[in-house]
């Protein structure tokens, strides 16, 4: 099941990567702002 889910996620890897980058940048900015 996990491998099937990963393969499905891999098909959308480009959009997922862009989204993950945006989320990561937001988290970094929030951490900097919270200090």
Residue 4, burial from CB neighbour count under 10 angstroms (0-12, 13-18, 19+): exposed
- What's the CA gap between 30 and 22, in Å, rounded? 12
| pLDDT confidence of residue 15 | 74
**What pTM was estimated for this model as a whole?**
0.51
Tokens 């919270």 correspond to: 34
| pLDDT confidence of residue 19 | 86
Q: List pLDDT tens digits, range 1-35.
A: 777 777 676 666 777 778 888 999 999 999 999 98
Query: 16 vs 21, 22, 35, CA distance in Å?
Result: 9, 10, 29
Report residue 4: phi and psi, to 5°. Answer: -65, -40
């Amino acid at each position: 099941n996990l491998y099937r889910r990963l393969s499905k996620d891999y098909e959308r890897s480009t959009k997922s990567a862009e989204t993950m980058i945006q989320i990561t940048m937001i988290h970094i900015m929030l951490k900097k702002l919270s200090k």
